[in-house]
Structure formats: structure tokens, C-alpha cells
């Protein structure tokens, strides 16, 4: 039976949410939380012998130290397989899972598998280095993700040949392999062309990357006369979140009046964002939405004026489709209001 070490963050280890995101690495014997589903999916061929847990914020802020601690914890159990997550669309968690998995693979030489949503930042950072099973954008996809991750992990541990991304369910790694096809390339190309002409579905053998290119606007000629607006994906909203913007996977944005507001205080504003520790943002929302600084620049005549409305949404887990739609709608309103420049802040 193969020995498995599993990595989880504080949330999936049932320790807590953001209030527990600063916990340092710890290790527990056996499985924790979703580890039970993995043990069942292994069907007696493998078993989780230990679970390593670390808070998302702690790992992000202490990456090198956390990696050293986690590698030592994993090494102690001499596992045959290392599994991280799945992290779905949680950005810090996904990046941590992939970073740790790559380190375990490189330093300990054992097979590693993780899982996340295609838009998770961990995918672009590490898809060429490790196998990442494609998942849904939230934990509702756990039931589908676990069997695929378990099956791929067992194949890797046994040294079996790994199939294509479509066959195994992992995200394309940009690696091409030669194979023997039943028909010549010229015939396959003509067949695809005919299907394309007829409007029939076909699958290309050479997928090209899709780049979203945006031409930059010309520079502002005189910033001292420009009307500048603030837009944020950091979730800064009036106290109580009147528009009920979701803490993750936002489906909307808010438009808020800051006429006569010179400072964002903890009594009047807060963050709705669920993807970072909200303590510092709630203490002083200007840290994310710098109204105070822009008011000073406005007073000193270094900018023309600060637009009376700002726009806010939550970037955490929000789909690219929704984000693009928000941007188009916000831009249309800003142009109509005579805004010449936008400062876009994140977390």
C-alpha cells in the first residue's frame, strides 16, 4: 500500500477561516477533512498517513521558512505520494499547494498532484512543473475532483504511462509528445478544414494561446487638470455592505458616493473581500482605497479633482467573464462622467 501525505489549509482542515489564516505549519497523523474522501478513492491501494496544515496568510508571508518546515514534515513519513488540496479557485491556497508540491517533487523526488480551477493563479505559475487536476471553482466540485486526483496519483506512483489532459483530467502543461496516428497529417488537416467550412464541430491538434491584448491609452497631457476616479477589486464598501457584494466569485459591483469624504474610517467603511486577512483593511480602508492621499493631491493642485463616485467589487474567485463585464460597464459610466484617468487598486 502506498503511503500518502496530504496538504490542507486552515479552512479545509476545519480550523477556521481568515481569522486562523496565520497559523504556522503543523502535522497530524492520518487524514483530516477531505482526506477521508481520498482514502476511499484510493480503494485500498494507498492511504493518507499524515496531513500537513498551514494557514494561507502564514505561507504567503513566510514562504521560504514555511517550505523548509513542511518539507521536513513530509520527509519524516517517507511517503510514496504527495497530494495538495484541491484548492479550487482560492488564489493563495492554490499558489501554496502548487509551490509546496513542486518543492516536494524537486527535493524529495516523489510524485505530486494538486487540483484547482483553471483561473487560479497557481495554474499559470506551476502547470508546466506539476500535474494539476482541473476542478470547478468552488468546493462543490470536491466529489468530482478527488477521484481524478487519486487516480492520477496512483498512476504516477506505479510509474504507469500518463495519458493526455483530456484522458486524465489535468490542465494542459504545454508539453507535446510524438505519437503514431492512424491517418496522415495532410488528410487530418483537410478533414478538419471541411468540418470547419460546414460549420461542424472539430478539435484542432495544435491549440494556439488566446491573448487578451488591450491597447494603452495615450498619456494624460496635464494631470493637474484631470478628473481621476478610484476603482477597486479589494472589496471596500460602505459599512454593512449595502449591495451585498459576495466575498468570493462576485456577481456584481457597487458604485458609492464619496463627495465630501476625506478619510475612510473603520466606522464608515469595511472590506467585503473574503480572500485576504481583513483586519488591516478594516482598521483603515484607505490602505486599499487611498481616498485620503488623493484628497491631499487634489488640495495641493497635483490632480484636477477626485471623481465623486468610486466603484468596488471583489476579485477573489471572480470569473474573468464577470470581471470583463464589470470593467466595460464601469468604463462606460466613467467616460460619460468626463473621467480622464482611473486608479485601480487591488489587495
200 occurs within a structural domain: yes
Q: Give the single-character DSSP code of 203.
A: -
175 occurs within a structural domain: no
Q: Give the single-character DSSP code of 43.
A: T
* Residues 241, 152 share a domain: no
Which pLDDT belongs to residue 77?
A: 96
334 occurs within a structural domain: yes
Give the CATH number of the domain where residue 127 resides. Answer: 3.40.50.2300
216 occurs within a structural domain: no
Chain centroid, CA 347 distance in Å: 13
* Residues 56, 128 share a domain: yes
Average pLDDT score over residue span 46-62: 94
Which pLDDT belongs to residue 317?
A: 73
Average pLDDT score over residue span 3-14: 96
* Residues 59, 198 share a domain: no
Which pLDDT belongs to residue 43?
A: 94
* Residues 158, 280 share a domain: no
* Residues 250, 101 share a domain: no
Cα angle 16, 22, 28; round to 5: 65
pLDDT class of 18 with cuts at 50, 70, 90 = confident
Mean pLDDT (the chain) is 93
With 90 as the cut, is the pLDDT of residue 68 above it?
yes
Give the CB-side neighbour count of residue 212, counting CA atoms within 13 A.
3
10 occurs within a structural domain: yes
pLDDT class of 117 with cuts at 50, 70, 90 = very high
215 occurs within a structural domain: no
218 occurs within a structural domain: no
Which pLDDT belongs to residue 71?
A: 97
* Residues 297, 243 share a domain: yes
* Residues 141, 43 share a domain: yes
Average pLDDT score over residue span 134-147: 93
> Whole-angstrom Cα distance, residue 127 to residue 113?
11
pLDDT class of 33 with cuts at 50, 70, 90 = very high
Which pLDDT belongs to residue 212?
A: 74
* Residues 113, 262 share a domain: no
With 90 as the cut, is the pLDDT of residue 293 above it?
yes
* Residues 52, 153 share a domain: yes
* Residues 152, 18 share a domain: yes
Domain stop point among 168, 197, 231: 168
Contact at 8 Å (CB) between 81 and 45?
no
176 occurs within a structural domain: no
Which pLDDT belongs to residue 205?
A: 79
Instruction: Find the range with the poorest average confidence among 143-147, 274-278, 284-288.
Output: 274-278
159 is in which domain, residue-wise? 2-168
Average pLDDT score over residue span 168-175: 88
Which pLDDT belongs to residue 24?
A: 96
- Bridge partners (DSSP) of residue 271 are 236
Please report, for residues 86, 200, 295, 332, 340, the alpha-carbon distance to residue 144 in angstroms, rounded to integers and kept in the order given: 11, 30, 50, 40, 47
* Residues 321, 271 share a domain: yes
Pairing of strands 81-88, 305-306: unpaired
Domain stop point among 210, 231, 262: 210
pLDDT class of 182 with cuts at 50, 70, 90 = confident
- Residue 131 grid coordinates: 500535474
Average pLDDT score over residue span 298-325: 91
Instruction: Find the range with the poorest average confidence among 161-175, 197-211, 216-230.
Output: 197-211
Q: What is the number of domains present in the chain?
A: 3
* pLDDT, tens digit, 9 for 90 and up, residues 90-100: 888 999 999 99
pLDDT class of 103 with cuts at 50, 70, 90 = very high
With 80 as the cut, is the pLDDT of residue 160 above it?
yes
* Residues 185, 126 share a domain: no
* Segment of 201-215, 245-259, 326-340 carrying the highest mean pLDDT: 326-340
Amino acid at each position: 500500500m502506498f503511503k500518502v501525505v496530504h496538504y490542507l489549509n486552515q479552512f479545509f482542515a476545519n480550523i477556521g477561516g481568515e481569522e486562523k489564516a496565520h497559523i504556522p505549519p503543523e502535522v497530524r497523523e492520518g487524514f483530516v477533512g477531505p482526506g477521508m474522501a481520498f482514502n476511499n478513492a484510493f480503494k485500498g491501494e494507498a492511504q493518507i498517513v499524515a496531513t500537513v496544515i498551514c494557514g494561507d496568510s502564514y505561507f504567503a508571508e513566510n514562504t521560504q521558512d514555511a517550505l523548509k518546515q513542511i518539507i521536513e514534515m513530509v520527509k519524516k513519513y517517507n511517503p510514496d505520494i504527495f497530494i495538495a488540496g484541491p484548492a479550487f479557485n482560492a488564489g493563495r491556497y492554490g499558489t501554496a499547494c502548487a509551490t509546496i508540491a513542486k518543492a516536494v517533487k524537486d527535493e524529495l523526488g516523489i510524485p505530486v498532484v494538486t487540483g484547482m480551477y483553471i483561473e487560479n493563479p497557481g495554474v499559470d505559475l506551476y502547470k508546466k512543473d506539476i500535474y494539476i487536476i482541473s476542478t470547478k471553482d468552488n468546493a462543490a466540485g470536491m466529489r468530482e475532483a478527488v477521484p481524478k486526483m487519486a487516480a492520477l496519483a496512483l498512476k504516477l506512483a506505479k510509474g504507469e504511462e500518463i495519458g493526455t489532459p483530456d484522458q486524465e483530467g489535468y490542465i494542459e502543461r504545454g508539453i507535446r509528445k510524438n505519437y503514431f496516428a492512424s491517418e496522415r497529417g495532410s488528410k487530418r488537416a483537410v478533414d478538419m478544414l471541411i468540418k470547419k467550412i460546414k460549420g461542424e464541430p472539430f478539435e484542432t491538434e495544435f491549440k494556439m494561446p488566446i491573448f487578451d491584448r488591450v491597447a494603452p491609452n495615450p498619456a494624460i497631457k496635464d494631470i493637474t487638470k484631470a478628473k481621476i476616479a478610484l476603482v477597486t477589486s479589494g472589496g471596500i464598501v460602505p459599512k454593512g455592505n449595502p449591495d451585498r457584494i459576495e466575498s468570493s466569485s462576485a456577481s456584481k459591483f457597487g458604485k458609492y458616493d464619496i463627495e465630501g469624504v476625506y478619510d475612510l474610517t473603520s466606522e464608515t467603511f469595511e472590506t467585503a473581500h473574503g480572500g485576504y486577512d481583513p483586519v488591516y483593511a478594516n482598521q483603515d480602508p484607505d490602505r486599499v482605497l487611498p481616498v485620503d492621499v488623493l484628497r491631499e493631491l487634489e488640495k495641493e493642485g497635483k490632480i484636477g479633482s477626485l471623481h465623486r463616485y468610486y466603484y468596488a467589487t471583489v476579485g477573489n474567485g471572480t470569473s474573468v467573464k464577470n470581471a470583463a463585464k464589470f470593467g466595460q460597464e464601469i468604463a462606460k459610466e466613467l467616460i460619460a462622467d468626463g473621467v480622464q484617468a482611473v486608479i485601480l487598486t487591488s489587495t
